[in-house]
Chains A and B, each alone.
Chain A
Amino acid sequence: MKITFPRLGTVHVGLKSVLEDLGHEVVVPPRITEETVNLGAKHAPETACFPLKINLGSFLEVFREHPDVDMIVMAGGVGPCRFGYYFRTEQDILTDLGYGHVNWVVMEPPRGNLRQSLDSLGALNDGCSTWQVAAALRLGWRKLVAMDDILKTVHRVRAHETQRGAASRIFRAAVTQMENADSLQEVDQIARQTLRRLQNICREDDGDTVRVAIVGEIYVSMEPGANLHIEEALGYLGAEIHRTIMVTDWAKENILLDFLRWDSRGKDHKEAAKPYLNHFVGGEGQASVGSTVLLADAVDGVVHLMPFTCMPEIVAQSVMPQVSKDYDVPVLTLVFDEHTGRAGVLTRLEAFVDLLRRRRRKKGQRSIG
């Protein structure tokens, strides 16, 4: 079996490792570019979610280079938003385009059907012992955790780097190293080294740094190719980033331990959302609202990212003005699809960071005076 899977942030670092250790050949989709987006948009239903389009484009890029890929592994879902239906739509389209031979292994959340989840895991395990499987999962997971730690540091130091692009370069190098690491020790060592290198590229905080929280839909939050690399852009504008959902949070909540109802971020963000959005609405909708409430004091502003027509985030966006008003925290909602231009987004980000900086200085003066 030659396997591929959706590209999303640093997921491939861990997933590739696990699948290879289980004895599979793996093709990691190339980085998401404008071309990926256009290819997907060409073949997907016009009003499908943006992440679906990217995902489809990405698979097509894989097949273009590797027509012999014969298995796709991806996550499923049981609603209420569209995510759980992606694979059905993509499967139909890929079949039409001549890739009907592909086996789809869809990890449905155990909450939907435990037997089915075990079956899909079984489909991936071809003769490895339980011990080997456990070791493979452990290594893959450690890589994901390490990458999240590194990325969190990048989010912070990029605002202070002395040489533009230094943090991104170190990060990319870490991705490559991490992909090839084959022991827990090696993973830890790469992580330590990388974190040290990241510390060394910063100048001192001049006190003028603004802090921005990023909340919103999973895919456009976690995949730079989907959000026109706005994390980098914010960093260059001198903003430290606090992103509320990282790859491991998402994996814990949605795939691995869903049946334990493990909510790695605690129930807090749900409780905090309640006065504004008193019910789960799928995806990250309620979390976007709750995180904004919880972080309102800790950050200068919130950037809310959503794909065009995203069901849960439209609900969140609808109630956000009230949160912003009550907690006196500016919220910038950015909507992404294949027509979104980078220049427009950059202008809005610049204006937003300017606004935050002015507010911050004003507040500083007030507290002095």
Chain B
Amino acid sequence: MSAVSRNADGVSVPRVGFCRALLYHIQWDFWKEYLDGLGAEIVLSPPTSKEMLSDGLKLAVDDTCLPVKAFYGHAQWLTTEAVDFMLVPRLVSLEKHTYICPKFMGLPDMIRTAVAGPPPVIDPKIDIRQSALRQRASLMNAASDMGFSPRSAREAIQQAGSPYRRKMRTMSSRVKPALKCGHSSSKQSAMKMAVLGHPYLLADDVTSAGLMWALADMDVKPVTLESVDDEILQEYLQDLPKKVFWSEGGRLLAAARHFSRRDDIDGIIQVNAFGCGSDSLLGEEAQRRVRQEGSCPILSVSLDEHSGEAGLLTRLEAFCDMVKRKKQ
């Protein structure tokens, strides 16, 4: 019953659904090139809405972290779109000797169980530990499971390049322009704050309860870890007493230290996802290290599905006021 779409030659092409959540915010560029290369018709879920999040809450087990709950909502949305397949990659590792997070490793299975009558879930595995050959085979198999020929699969893989690259999209297109032209009236007084949190949280206006927006409204220029050279982060990471085995968590920890040493940063806002395993330990360590570094003010907020925008706003305002006073 799926709406069959056809390419220029009139050949029908599969509609492939992809969730605009979690790994989308880390790796979409790669997957888009892969799917384009295959010639698939891509159906991307829209930015998270309140309804999608509440769907996700119903489907996920209670204690799941907020971003994964949102992901469930996206998957649910895709089931209503007559897609032929849902592509939910299994991200294991993008960097030597590290993992992303156990939940990324089990995500396709979780979605298969939870989402009612889904289209088949296709789950190519991205894991830097496996040989290049196996990595390639995993992407080839995924393509063949979706009915693409080996030839188009080879081309698509060629075109998409390294499956380990990441490009984080930390701000939604809605927030970006607001930040750029800085709709602030008094440019001089603007403060610069480092905002640290998982990219899929910060980039999502609903799960982050509009945090980026709120900051823009307060004349605060948010800076995220994407603006920091990877080498600098790696250098900090080498310096730690134990290697952090979560690549993304480690970067956040390193960024906290980095920003606390920078003169142009007025404060650090740490955004934790409730129920996040790595945040629960590394968040605390980051705060500790920032305090050890000296006087950079740090605010830690934990976001869950109940965090109302109002409460968050009050805390942000109080923090920004405090930082402003300190600055003057």
| Contact status of A281 and B284, CB under 8 A, knowing A81-B277, A88-B241, A309-B63 | no
Which residues from B are CB-within-8-Å of A45?
A: 280-281, 283-284
Q: In the complex, are the beta carbons of B105 and A78 less than 8 A apart?
A: no
Shortest Cβ distance from A217 into chain B, in angstroms?
12
Is B106 in contact with chain A by the CB < 8 A criterion? yes
Q: Lowest 3 A-B CB distances belong to which pairs?
A: A79-B245, A315-B106, A80-B99
Query: Once bound together, how far apart are the Cα atoms of A46 and B287, in whole Å?
Result: 14
Which residues from A are CB-within-8-Å of B92?
A: 279
Interface centre among A78, A79, A278, A335 (most CB of B within 10 A): A79
Which B residue sits closest to A337, measured CB to CB? B63
| New A-B contacts (17) at CB < 8 Å, excluding given A78-B97, A317-B61 | A45-B283, A47-B279, A47-B302, A48-B280, A78-B243, A80-B102, A88-B285, A276-B113, A277-B106, A279-B92, A279-B125, A281-B103, A282-B105, A314-B61, A314-B64, A318-B109, A319-B112
Q: List 13 A-B contacts (CB under 8 A).
A: A45-B281, A77-B245, A82-B278, A89-B281, A92-B285, A276-B113, A277-B106, A278-B108, A278-B109, A281-B105, A315-B102, A319-B109, A319-B112
Which residues in window 76-129 of A have CB below 8 A to B? 76-82, 84-85, 87-89, 92
Q: In the complex, are the beta carbons of B109 and A79 less than 8 A apart?
A: no
Which A residue sits closest to B127, measured CB to CB? A279
| Contact status of A318 and B114, CB under 8 A, knowing A89-B285, A279-B105, A335-B63 | yes
Interface centre among A317, A319, A335 (most CB of B within 10 A): A319
CB 8 Å contact bits of A300-324 with B (1 = contact, 0 = none): 0000000011111011011101100
Shortest Cβ distance from A245 into chain B, in angstroms?
18
Shortest Cβ distance from B208 into chain A, in angstroms?
18
Query: Once bound together, how far apart are the Cα atoms of A100 and B285, in whole Å?
Result: 16
Shortest Cβ distance from A274 into chain B, in angstroms?
9
Shortest Cβ distance from B93 into chain A, in angstroms?
9
Query: Once bound together, how far apart are the Cα atoms of A319 and B63, in whole Å?
Result: 14
Which residues in window 285-305 of A have CB below 8 A to B? 285
Is B206 in contact with chain A by the CB < 8 A criterion? no
Shortest Cβ distance from B61 into chain A, in angstroms?
5
Is B275 in contact with chain A by the CB < 8 A criterion? yes
Q: In the complex, are the beta carbons of A318 and B281 less than 8 A apart?
A: no
Which B residue sits closest to A280, measured CB to CB? B105
Query: Once bound together, how far apart are the Cα atoms of A312 and B99, in whole Å?
Result: 13
Is B213 in contact with chain A by the CB < 8 A criterion? no
Is B262 in contact with chain A by the CB < 8 A criterion? no
Q: In the complex, are the beta carbons of B102 and A309 less than 8 A apart?
A: no
Q: In the complex, are the beta carbons of A78 and B277 less than 8 A apart?
A: no
Chain B interface bracket (under 10, 10 to 19, 20 to 34, 35 or more) = 35 or more
Q: In the complex, are the beta carbons of B109 and A47 less than 8 A apart?
A: no
A311 interface neighbour in B97, B103, B285, B302, Cβ under 8 Å: B103
Which A residue sits closest to B111, measured CB to CB? A318
How many residue pairs between the two chains, A and B, have CB atoms under 8 Å in the bound complex? 122
Q: In the complex, are the beta carbons of A282 and B275 less than 8 A apart?
A: no
Query: Once bound together, how far apart are the Cα atoms of A165 and B283, in whole Å?
Result: 44
Which residues from A are CB-within-8-Å of B241?
A: 88
Is B184 in contact with chain A by the CB < 8 A criterion? no
Q: Is chain B's interface secondary structure helix, strand, loop, or mixed overall? A: mixed
Q: In the complex, are the beta carbons of A309 and B99 less than 8 A apart?
A: no
Query: Once bound together, how far apart are the Cα atoms of A285 and B106, in whole Å?
Result: 10
Q: In the complex, are the beta carbons of B245 and A78 less than 8 A apart?
A: yes
Q: In the complex, are the beta carbons of B109 and A279 less than 8 A apart?
A: yes
Which residues from B are CB-within-8-Å of A335?
A: 63
Which residues in window 249-302 of B have CB below 8 A to A? 272, 274-285, 288, 302
Shortest Cβ distance from B126 into chain A, in angstroms?
12
Which residues in window 264-280 of A have CB below 8 A to B? 276-280
Q: In the complex, are the beta carbons of B63 and A277 less than 8 A apart?
A: no
Query: Once bound together, how far apart are the Cα atoms of A322 and B108, in whole Å?
Result: 14
Query: Once bound together, how far apart are the Cα atoms of A310 and B106, in whole Å?
Result: 13
Query: Once bound together, how far apart are the Cα atoms of A48 and B123, in whole Å?
Result: 30
CB 8 Å contact bits of B150-174 with A (1 = contact, 0 = none): 0000000000000000000000000
Q: In the complex, are the beta carbons of A309 and B97 less than 8 A apart?
A: no
Interface centre among B61, B103, B284, B288 (most CB of A within 10 A): B61
Shortest Cβ distance from B23 into chain A, in angstroms?
15
Q: In the complex, are the beta carbons of A82 and B60 less than 8 A apart?
A: no
Query: Once bound together, how far apart are the Cα atoms of A81 and B102, in whole Å?
Result: 7
Which residues from B are CB-within-8-Å of A315?
A: 102-103, 105-106, 109-110
Shortest Cβ distance from A340 into chain B, in angstroms?
13
Q: In the complex, are the beta carbons of A82 and B280 less than 8 A apart?
A: yes
Q: In the complex, are the beta carbons of B110 and A319 less than 8 A apart?
A: yes
Q: In the complex, are the beta carbons of A314 and B63 less than 8 A apart?
A: yes
Q: In the complex, are the beta carbons of B288 and A92 less than 8 A apart?
A: yes
Shortest Cβ distance from A91 into chain B, in angstroms?
8
Q: In the complex, are the beta carbons of A80 and B109 less than 8 A apart?
A: no
Is B31 in contact with chain A by the CB < 8 A criterion? no
| Contact status of A318 and B242, CB under 8 A, knowing A82-B277, A88-B285 | no
Q: In the complex, are the beta carbons of A79 and B246 less than 8 A apart?
A: yes
Q: In the complex, are the beta carbons of A85 and B102 less than 8 A apart?
A: no
